[in-house]
Structure 1
Amino acid sequence: MSAKKAKKKKHTARPAKEPSALELKVSELSAKADSVRAAVAARAGKGAAPAAVFFAAFAWLLYCAAPTLYWGDSAELVSVSCNLGVAHSPGYPLFTQLSRLFALLPFDEFPFRANVMSALLTALAATMLYIAVVRMSRSVFAGLVTLAALAGCRSFVHFGLIAEVYAAHAALFAGVILLLAIDRSRGSRPLVSGALLLIFLGFTHHLLMAFALGAAIIHLALLPGHRWRALAGPLLILFGAAMINLFRAFDAVPALTQYAVWALAAIGAAYAGYLVFIGLKRKGLVRFISGALAILAAAAAVSLVFAYLPLASARGPVSDWWGPRNPVNFLNLLFLQGYESTLPADKMELLKRVNIKMFLGQMSPAMMALGLPGLVLLFRKDWRSTLFALLCGAGALAGSLLISHGKPDALRVQLFIVMSLFAGAGAAAVVGWRPLRGALWKAPFRLAAAALILFIVGVNLTGADRRHMNRAGGARILGEAIIDDVRSNSVVFIGTQTPGIMGYFRACEGDIFKRREITVVPVSFLPFKWELDRLRRHYPDVIFPDTSLFEEEKPVFRVDDPARARYAVELMRANPSRAFYSDFLFIPLEMDYRTVPRGAVYRIAPGDISPDEIDSMLEADATPQWKAFGGGPRYISLDDSSAVNISSIHNERGKIYLDYGAQTGDQKYFRTALKEFNLALKYDPLNSKALSNKGHCQFYFGQREKGLELMRKALKLDPLDPQLYEALATVLFRQQTQKSISEAVALWTTAFALDPYNSRALHNIAGALVALGQRDAAIQYYEAASNLDPYYASPYINLARIYNQMGACSKAVEVLDHAKEKRRDMLWLRIEIAEQYYNCRLQHLYAREVEEIMAEFDRNLELLYALAILFRNVGQHDNFARAVREIRDIDPEFPLQKFYSSLDCERAVTVLSELIKRMPDEPQLHLSLAISYGNCDEPDQAISTLRGAARRFPTHREQFNILIDRATNPGQPAPSDPYQPFIEN
Structure 2
Amino acid sequence: MWFLWSCVPGLYWKDAGELTTAGFVLGVPHPTGFPTYMLFAKLASMIPVGNVAFRVTMVSVICASVAVGACVYSVTKIAERLKPPTISSISVWIGAILSVGILLQSPTFDLISTTAEVYSPLAMAITLSLAVFVAWTHDPDAPYLRWFLYFIAAFGVGTHILATPILVLLVMMVVASISTAAKRRYLGLDARFLVAGAITAPLVYLYLPLTALADPFWNWGDPTTLDRFVAHVSGASIRMAFADSMGIHSWATTQMWLEQYWLQLWEGATWLIFFGIFGLYAVWRSNQKKFAAALVFIWAIDGAFSVWVNPMGIVDRQTAVPSIVVSTILSAYGGVWLYHVICIKAPKSALIRSICLTSLAILLALPTISAPDRPTRKNDQYADLVGHAILQQTAPGGRLFVASDDMSAALAYLTAVDGARPDVAVIFSSHVYDHNAVTRWGRLYKSQIPDRTLRLSQAARASNRWMYTEEQRQILASMADVPVAHSTGVWETGQPSFDSLWRTQLTPSFPLFSGTLSGLNPNLPSADAAAAPQSPYPLADTLDTVKRWSQWLHTPPTLESAHLIAECLRQGALWEAQQNRLQSASAILAASLNIAPDYDRSLANLGAVLDRMGDVAAAITATQRAVELRPWAAGPRVNLTRMFIRTGELTQATTLASETLALAQNPSDVANVHVELGKIALLSKSYDEAKFHTQQALEINQNHAGALELVRHLDTTSHQSPGH
- Of the candidates 364, 369, 394, which is equivalent to residue 300 of structure 2? 394
Structure 1 SS opposite 2:428: strand
Q: 2:699 aligns with which of 778, 784, 788?
A: 784
CA distance in 1, matches of 2:69, 2:430: 40
Q: Does the 8 A contact of 1:732 with 1:744 survive in 2?
A: yes
**Corresponding residue number in structure 2 for 1:724:** 636
Could you tell me how far 1:470 is from its partner in structure 2?
0.5
Secondary structure of the residue aligned to 1:472 is: coil
Pairing 1:579–2:490 present:
yes
8 Å Cα contact 1:596-1:614 kept in structure 2 = no
Q: Does 1:474 align with 2:382?
A: yes
Determine the C-alpha separation between the residues in 2 that align with 1:516 and 1:118. 30
Task: Look up the match of 1:453.
Answer: 360
Report if the CA contact (8 A) 1:344-1:402 is conserved: yes
SS of match in other structure, 2:41:
helix
Aligned residue number for residue 345 of structure 1:
249
> In structure 2, what residue type is equivalent to 1:337?
A
The answer to whether the 8 A contact 2:675-2:707 is kept is no
Answer yes or no: is the 8 Å Cα contact 2:642–2:676 preserved in 1.
no
Q: Does residue 653 of the first structure (1) align with residue 561 of the second (2)?
A: no
Q: Counterparts of 1:167-316 in structure 2 under 5 Å?
A: 167-184=120-137, 186-188=139-141, 189-214=143-168, 217=171, 223=176, 226=179, 284=185, 287=187, 292-316=191-215
> Which runs of structure 2 are paired with 1:756-795 in the superposition (5 Å)?
756-759=665-668, 762=671, 765=674, 777=692, 780-781=695-696, 783-786=698-701
Q: Distance in 2 between matches of 1:82 and 1:599?
A: 37
**How far apart, in 2, do the equivalents of 1:307 and 1:486 lie?**
39
Please state if 1:104 is matched with 2:46: yes
SS of equivalent to 1:187: coil
Gaps of 5+ in 1: 1-58, 229-277, 551-563, 601-612, 662-668, 788-792, 807-985
2:282 counterpart residue number: 377
Residue-by-residue CA offset, 1:429-480 (whole Å, 9 max, x unaligned) = 233326546754x232123222222232233454588763101112222222
Within 2, Cα distance between the matches of 1:123 and 1:710?
Answer: 41
Instruction: For residue 81 of structure 1, report the CA deviation from its aligned partner.
Output: 1.9
TM-score (norm 2): 0.76
Q: Which one-letter code corresponds to 2:360 in the other structure?
A: I
What is the match of residue 408 of structure 2? Answer: 499
| 1:492 alignment partner, SS class | strand
Residues 684/216 of structure 1: CA separation in 2 closer, same or farther (3 Å cut): farther
**What is the root-mean-square deviation of aligned Cα atoms in Å?**
4.4
Partner deviation per Cα, 1:37-84 (whole Å, 9 max, x = no partner) = xxxxxxxxxxxxxxxxxxxxxx22111111111111112111112222
Give the 3 Å change call, closer, same or farther, for CA 93–185 of structure 1 in structure 2: same
Percent identical residues: 15
Q: Provide, for residues 826-880 of structure 1, a one-character-per-residue CA deviation record: whole Å limited to 9, x for no partner.
A: xxxxxxxxxxxxxxxxxxxxxxxxxxxxxxxxxxxxxxxxxxxxxxxxxxxxxxx
1:88 aligns with 2:58: no
Which amino acid in the other structure matches residue 321 of structure 1? W
Deviates more, 1:84-93 or 1:496-505: 496-505
Where 1:180 maps in the other structure, the secondary structure is helix
- The yes-or-no answer on 1:164 pairing with 2:117 is yes
8 A contact 2:95–2:332 mirrored in 1? yes
1:447–1:294 distance in 2 versus 1, CA, 3 Å:
same
Local SS of the residue matching 2:401: strand
CA deviation digits over 1:261-289, x for unaligned, max 9?
A: xxxxxxxxxxxxxxxxx8xxx7847x26x
Structure-1-length-normalised TM-score:
0.57
- Check whether the contact 1:729–1:744 (CA below 8 A) recurs between aligned residues: yes
Amino acid at match of 1:444: L
Kindly report which structure 2 residues correspond to 1:404-803, keeping only aligned pairs within 5 A, or say none: 404-408=310-314, 409-433=317-341, 436=344, 440=348, 442-462=349-369, 463=371, 468-487=376-395, 489-510=398-419, 512=421, 514-522=422-430, 524=432, 526-527=446-447, 528=449, 530-531=451-452, 534-535=455-456, 538=461, 541-542=465-466, 576-584=487-495, 596=503, 622=543, 624-625=545-546, 627=548, 635-661=554-580, 669-728=581-640, 753-759=662-668, 762=671, 765=674, 777=692, 780-781=695-696, 783-786=698-701
Aligned partners of 2:427 and 2:454 also within 8 Å: no
Evaluate the alpha carbon distance shift between residue 123 and residue 681 of structure 1 in structure 2; reply closer, same or farther with a 3 A threshold.
same
Going from structure 1 to structure 2, the CA distance change for 1:335 and 1:575 (only over 3 Å counts) comes to: farther
Is this contact kept in 2: 1:785–1:795, CA < 8 A?
Answer: no
SS of 2:113's equivalent?
coil
Give distance in 2, aligned partners of 1:438 and 1:740.
60
Work out the CA distance in 1 between the residues paired with 2:498 and 2:34.
33
Return 5+ residue gaps in structure 2 as ranges: 81-91, 434-445, 508-530, 717-724
C-alpha distance in structure 2 between counterparts of 1:684 and 1:209, whole Å: 35
**Helix, strand or coil: the match of 2:326?**
helix
Change (3 A) 1:585 1:97: closer
Matched residue type, 1:651: R
Matches within 5 A, 1:49-88: 59-88=1-30
Partner-residue secondary structure (3-state), 1:515: coil
- 1:796–1:544 Cα change, 3 Å: farther
* Bigger radius of gyration among the two: 1
Deviations 1:345-396 (A, max 9, x none): 333332222224333312121x223334433433315332233223222332
Q: Aligned in 2, Cα 1:501/1:435: closer, same or farther, shift over 3 Å?
A: closer
AA at the equivalent of 1:312: T
Find the residue that maps to 2:236 and give its secondary structure.
coil
Most deviating of 646-655 and 759-768: 759-768
Cα drift, residue 336 of structure 1: 0.9
Distance in 2, Cα, partners of 1:760 & 1:586: 24
What corresponds to 1:894 in structure 2?
none
Q: Deviations over 1:282-322 (max 9, x none)?
A: 7847x26x655422332354334223222322332232111
Counterpart contact for 1:378–1:386, Cα < 8 Å: yes
Where 1:312 maps in the other structure, the secondary structure is helix
Q: What is the one-letter code of the residue matched to 2:233?
A: L
C-alpha distance 93-648 of structure 1, shift in aligned 2 (>3 A):
same
Of 368-377 and 85-94, more deviation after overlay is shown by 368-377
- Give me the whole-angstrom Cα distance separating, in 2, the residues matched to 1:545 and 1:299: 52
Question: What letter is aligned with 1:447?
Answer: S
Q: What is residue 443 of structure 2 aligned with on the other side?
A: none
Aligned residues of 1:490 and 1:517 also touching (Cα < 8 A): yes
Secondary structure of the residue aligned to 1:208 is: helix
Aligned to 1:897: none
Asked if the contact 2:249–2:665 (Cα under 8 Å) also holds between the matched residues in 1, the reply is no
Give the number of aligned pairs: 638
Q: Are residues 1:331 and 2:230 paired?
A: yes
Q: Secondary structure at the match of 1:86?
A: coil
2:76 maps to what in 1? 134
Distance 1:594 1:761 in 2: 33
More helix by share: 1
Structure 1 residue identity aligned to 2:388: E
Q: Give the Cα separation in 1 of the matches to 2:619 and 2:344.
A: 60
Q: How big is the shift at 1:746? A: 8.1
